[in-house]
A and B are shown apart, each in its own frame.
Chain A
């Protein structure tokens, strides 16, 4: 009789139960769902949710489940995709566009699992269908833009200060000024620094030449700005698509990857993401009543009716003080302990701002965010390009002092400030972007991929299971249980780290299952050899595990190395393969060495004497 330490068995059981619990949501699968959020970003309350459910019931669209999530969005889950589409059309038509609707899928797992926050693995684009776009940001162009603007601003600053100059020119990262009169060098230097205190200027009083160098840090800041700006703009537009689980992330030096699952019309998405954003600074008209204007649809003379982001109306004056092209930088920075957004304009915008603020102290000023979309429309048999724009007021603040090209917007919460700074950056003159990579997987192909992948995994698994039982009898059954546990562990760990399962990922699991038997076979062949030379059963088992260990460890290390390299260098689906391969190697080693030994003890450990092992 062999004793297996109780604590080891208990620990293994707890681990197995935990893994089963984590893997469980995948068993139930997912079904089509709609995710509704209120346009004014308020949370759904019970009456509103019930009203939607009642409308669906009236139209005889059966609803499998509805719930409001932590972010106050209403989820509606349906039995199939047709009902999901019917419901979407109904809600779009019946509730006057009050809700933003996102097509998605929701887990069919019971409530107690959802309540525990255990979620199924997410699926990669190749398994659910969708689109990957990689944009490249022209960061060089962004720096060139900045230098051009410096050149223009310098001319203007010198003209305004009445300092005559021969020329202002840009060479490399240096903007040089050659003054007509060398005696005004100090004055020129002072005027330029006053305009932009961040400048690094070297001045030569003898020749009247001033040079402002764009430092490496400043150039880098500008490049980061260009990327951040495009990320924000893309995030905004991707969110507006009404698809859930979208991803916008920086990729490498100057690229942005956008993932949109479940897209039906790829070119539509490309067009929507290619919108151009800008900003307008305007004064608020305090004389008229915005509510009246909203009701009648007529704005008083010289004003225009806008909506705030929460939908409330506001009247703005027609004159534009400054626009997005003049915005150089906007960042969220607490000033004197209060959250604020600091804004930097170029000289032209600054001049206009100075005049406006001087005349309108203590009056409110608004910032409008505008998104333009180019569209080709057929009109009278010919294609014409139409610009459609969406305009939204993102900030209204009182002018508290006279300022020019550098100012702060205060009176915001930290969250509002961050959001405002992001939107301002998104509206600045954009660094050009081009699509350098695009991959679209149709939803039908995605479904096909996952079905075929799962079938290959299932059949390969069954084949191996039968083979192991035939070849190693009881020990084969033990190996099978170990293999199954291994797959459960892989699925649980993928869910735990929220790693997406891709088609090569499934291949990784299949390959792992194929090679995971390796560890078991190494052990069992050893046990057989030991038995063949006449060792007693328990001595053979123990020697088998001990002697096979070094070979198992060695061989797994080499597989882990190629898995690790794949993870570092691969992207997208290939990375998915590397992830499942590495996880699979780790779990298969653990289950073969620890799990399989525990099971052998479970099967044979209670007997006083074993005549022979069924191997």
Chain B
């Protein structure tokens, strides 16, 4: 079986103007979404306490809110989680440290509705810790970007370096936008997913660039656009199969892996789709428009030629 009996001859680069506009639009939209709508930050980053309570039968949200209000709680959020008989309750951070004495009172208040209510999970994060977790997450993303940058700088000349760097910035931004749009709870696991997306996107780009490099050597007479098109077409079967198999794995994870992993798996799925698109369009196209030629692929210090730009 083969998806593509012959190597296709799609002229990807000819259409790149349209895709630039689409990418720019999506990136701008993502940024606006994150700024306006905001991320559904979990207690990992906001501090406070979250409870997951399992009831024996579906429970009315209003009655649960009433029971908590009667017990003297304020500023809480209640929503159903996974199924109608599972509730998630969020309390704001306590003034000092992480309060653990609220476990019993929350459970006691909800047991007035259903004596069989059971505490499935609770997380309580103090304000100091949540601030640090946020800082660490941001630092981790920056570190990965920096490493990617160094790696690309060692591996490719600046035109392709900028191409893949823009691609690797593009992907997490769009993924975060999608997370904001879908209201996926943004926790530490999602940050892990974003970093994986970064790695995956660069991985995909590198495979295509590797082929472009090879084709520049063998197709001396072709224009750069033809060479890049040829390389993308030749790796298209591989790109489809790899992205497809990775995507199918994370979709199984999202559907079957349970509520705890859903946000993580959905974020990964979005990232895989975007990463595949960006390595075809964003990375290659930017390199082309920056005037990439075969010389850009020669390792920097061999053959004695000098970069004409810093």
Point out the residue from A267, A514, A550, A551 that lies within 8 Å of B100, measured CB to CB: A267
Q: How far is the CB of B105 from chain A (nearest CB, A)?
A: 10
Q: Are B206 and A551 in contact (CB under 8 A)?
A: yes
Question: Is B257 part of the binding interface, using a Cβ–Cβ cutoff of 8 Å?
Answer: yes
Known A504-B261, A507-B253: A437·B101 in contact at CB below 8 Å: no
Known A444-B54, A557-B151: A569·B143 in contact at CB below 8 Å: yes
Point out the residue from B199, B235, B249 that lies within 8 Å of A561, measured CB to CB: B199
| CB nearest to B200 among chain A residues | A559
| 0/1 interface trace, chain B 50-70, chain A, CB 8 Å (1 if under) | 001010000000000000000
Question: Is B210 part of the binding interface, using a Cβ–Cβ cutoff of 8 Å?
Answer: yes
| CB nearest to A581 among chain B residues | B196
Q: Which of the candidate stretches B8-16, B23-31, B186-194 sits at the interface with the other chain?
A: B186-194
| 0/1 interface trace, chain B 213-255, chain A, CB 8 Å (1 if under) | 0100000000000000000001101100110011111101101
Point out the residue from B103, B126, B155, B261 that lies within 8 Å of A266, measured CB to CB: B103
Q: How far is the CB of A212 from chain B (nearest CB, A)?
A: 33
Point out the residue from A270, A437, A511, A557 that lies within 8 Å of B250, measured CB to CB: A511
Q: How far is the CB of A613 from chain B (nearest CB, A)?
A: 14
Q: Are B195 and A449 in contact (CB under 8 A)?
A: no
Q: Are B139 and A558 in contact (CB under 8 A)?
A: no
Q: How many A-B residue pairs have CB under 8 A?
A: 221
For chain A, the count of residues having a C-beta within 8 Å of the partner chain is 71
| CB nearest to A462 among chain B residues | B252
Known A521-B241, A562-B199: A267·B257 in contact at CB below 8 Å: no
| 0/1 interface trace, chain A 257-285, chain B, CB 8 Å (1 if under) | 00000000011001000000000000000
Docked pose: A521 CA to B214 CA in angstroms: 18
Report A501-550 residues with CB < 8 Å from chain B CB.
Answer: 503-504, 506-507, 510-511, 513-515, 517-518, 521-522, 525, 528-529, 547, 550
Q: Are B195 and A566 in contact (CB under 8 A)?
A: yes
Q: Are A558 and B242 in contact (CB under 8 A)?
A: no
Secondary structure call for the B interface: helix
Question: Is B290 part of the binding interface, using a Cβ–Cβ cutoff of 8 Å?
Answer: no
Q: What band does the interface of chain B fall in when counting residues whose beta carbon is under 8 Å from A?
A: 35 or more
Q: Are B1 and A471 in contact (CB under 8 A)?
A: yes
Q: How far is the CB of B207 from chain A (nearest CB, A)?
A: 5
Q: Which of the candidate stretches A110-118, A201-209, A451-459 sits at the interface with the other chain?
A: A451-459
28 A-B interface contacts by CB (under 8 A): A136-B126, A435-B126, A438-B98, A440-B119, A442-B119, A444-B118, A449-B258, A464-B248, A471-B1, A507-B261, A510-B252, A515-B200, A517-B242, A518-B245, A551-B211, A555-B204, A558-B199, A558-B203, A562-B147, A562-B198, A565-B140, A565-B143, A566-B195, A566-B196, A568-B143, A574-B191, A577-B189, A577-B192
Which 6 pairs, one residue from A and one from B, show the smallest C-beta to C-beta distance?
A: A514-B249, A562-B199, A434-B97, A436-B126, A569-B140, A452-B258
What 9 additional pairs, Cβ within 8 angstroms, besides A569-B136, A572-B188? A436-B129, A455-B256, A456-B255, A471-B1, A515-B245, A517-B242, A554-B207, A559-B199, A574-B191
